[in-house]
A and B are shown apart, each in its own frame.
Chain A
Amino acid sequence: MLVIVAKLVARRLLAAVPILLVVSALLFCVLRLLPVDPAAMSLPTTATIAEIEAKRREMGLDRPLPEQYLIWLSDALHGNFGRSIQFGREAGSLVAATLPATIQLAGAAMVLAAIFGLGGGLLLFHLRGTWFEAVTDIVSILLLSIPEFLWGLILLFVFGVALHALPFTGAVSPNLPQPHVTGFLLIDALLVGRLDVFASAFRHLILPALALGLAFSPAIMRVLRSSLFDVYHEDYIQQARLRGLSERQILLGHALKNAALPTLTLAGVQFGILFSGTLLVEVIYSYPGMGNLMVDAVRNADLPLIEAIGLTYCVAVLLINTVVDSLYVVLNPKLRVR
C-alpha cells in the first residue's frame, strides 16, 4: 500500500508543476492588468510624476508583460518573490514568518470542523425518522448559511465582549512573551517549557478556530448523513443485521467506514476553502497569520506580496489535495487494486 501511496504522491507532485505555472501566470497577469500603479505606491507622497515614471522603468513595469512574467518566474524559482512595497522586506520572508500561524489556525479549525461535522452527522443520522429530524435539518441548513466571518463576529461578541470568557486579539496575552523556535506558537511554547504561554496561545486560538470550524462543519455533517443513508441501503448492512450484529457494531464497523469516503473527499475540498477562509477571520481576531498579511498587501497594492501569498495558498491547496487523495487510497481498497 505504501508503494501505491508513494506513487500517487509522486504523480500528484508532478502534476502540481504545470498547475502552479498556470496559476502563477494567471496571478501575475491579473495583477498587472489591474488599474493600480505599484510604482506610485512604492514612492512617497512627495514624488513627482517624472520620478514615478523613472520608478516604473526601474521596476520593469514598462516592459512587455510576458517578459515581466519570465523575469518574475525566474526570480521566484530562486526563492526571490521581490521586496514588499509596503514593508520593504523580502516578500518570501514575510510569508514564511506568518505561514505557521495560519497553518496552526487552519489545522485547529479543521479538527473542530471534523469533530462537529462527524458528531453532527451521526446525530442527524441517529435522529432520522423522529420528529427531531425536521428540526435538526433546519438547524443544519441554518448553520450552513452562516459564513466564517459572521461566526467570527458572533463568537467575539458573545464570548469576548458579553461573557469576557475568552481573548480575541492576537495570538497570546500582552504580558507574555512569544517564543520563536519553529514558528508554531503552541509547539514553541512547549519546546521552551512555557506552559503559561501554551495555555494563553491555546485560549487565543479557540475563538478563531471555532469560527472557522463551525462555518465548515455543517457541510461535512450533511454529507456524512447522506452517505450513511446511502450505505444503509446496501445489501451488506442487511446481511450484517442478519448475522446478529448490533446497530452500533454495524454503524462503527461497516457503515461509517464506507460513508467516510465521500465525506473525506468533501473535507479535503473544504480544507482548501477553509485555508483561504482564514483571511477574514485572522483580520477579525487580529491573528498574526498570512491572511492578515494578505489584507495589508491588497490594501496597499503590494503586488510582490500578493503574488507570494497567492502562490503559497495555491501550493497549500495542492498539498492538502494530495494528502486527501492519499488517505482515500488508504481507506478505499478498490483504488489500491487499480
Chain B
Amino acid sequence: MASDSLPLLAVEHLTMRFGGLFAVNDLSFTAYQKEITAIIGPNGAGKTTVFNCLTGFYKPSVGRLSLTPPDDGAPHLLERMDGFRIAKVAKVARTFQNIRLFTGMSVLENLMVAQHNKLMRASVYSVAGLLGLRRFRNQERQSLEIAKYWLDKIDLSDQADWSAGNLPYGSQRRLEIARAMCTEPVLLCLDEPAAGLNPRESLQLNDLLLDIRRDQNIGILLIEHDMSVVMNISDHIIVLDHGAMIADGTPVAIRSDPTVIRAYLGAADDEDLPPEVTGDLRPAATSGVR
C-alpha cells in the first residue's frame, strides 16, 4: 500500500499464546493516520485477540505495538501499558463485539463518562467540582458541547435523556462509537460495528465512519464481517486466518486474492470456484455473520 499518510500504529511480530494455542502468530502490519484499516478473516481467526492486545485487555506474549501520536510525540509502546492507561495516555479507544454501554445511565451521561479524565483534571480531586469553581464549570460546558456534537452526529439528540439500555440496537451501536469518539482518540478500534444492523443501518454506519475519517485526525481499525461495509469504506484490508496474516492490500486486491477466497470457502483449487464467488466475497461473508 503506497500510502501518503503517516504511519500511526506499527504492529511488529505480535504473538498471543493461550497455552499451546497460537491465537495470533507473528502478525505485523501498519495502520495509517486518516485511513480505515479493516481486519477480516473467518471466525476464530484471532481478530478480536489483536484488538484485546492493542487495548490492553491481554498482554501479548511476543511483539511490539508502537503508536506514534499525530503530533509527533514519542511513540507509545502499548504492550507495556496497563489497560486503562492505553485509553488515557496513548488515546486508543475501542468498541466491543457485544455492546458494552452503561445501560442504566442516560445517553448523555454515557458520553460524559467518556470524557472522565479531562473533567477529573478540571475538578482537581473533585474539590473544584464540589465548590463549583469556574474552572470546572467551563470544562463541563465544553464537554457538554462535545457530547452534543456527537449526539447530533449519530442522530440521538432527541433521546439524549433516555437510559442507554432502552435504545434500539442500531442506536446502541452508534452510541458506542460516539462514546469512544468522546475520549478524543488518535486510534479508534471498532469490533464488528455492523453486526446485527440491517442494510440501511449499515449504510448509515458507513457514512458515520467516513465522516469520522474525513473530519477527525485519527486512524480507524475495523473488524467486520459485513463485506458491504468493509469493501466500501476501507483503505486497506488485512486478512487473518488461524492467527496469521494471509493477505494485506486494497479492497480491490483482496477481493480477487485466491488465498483469501480459499480461507473463506475452503476450496481445494481456485479453478473449482464458480465465477460469482470469486467475483465477490459476500456469500461467504454473510455466513460468517452471527
**Real complex partners, A and B?**
no
Interface residues of A, Cβ cutoff 8 Å to B? none
Interface residues of B, Cβ cutoff 8 Å to A? none
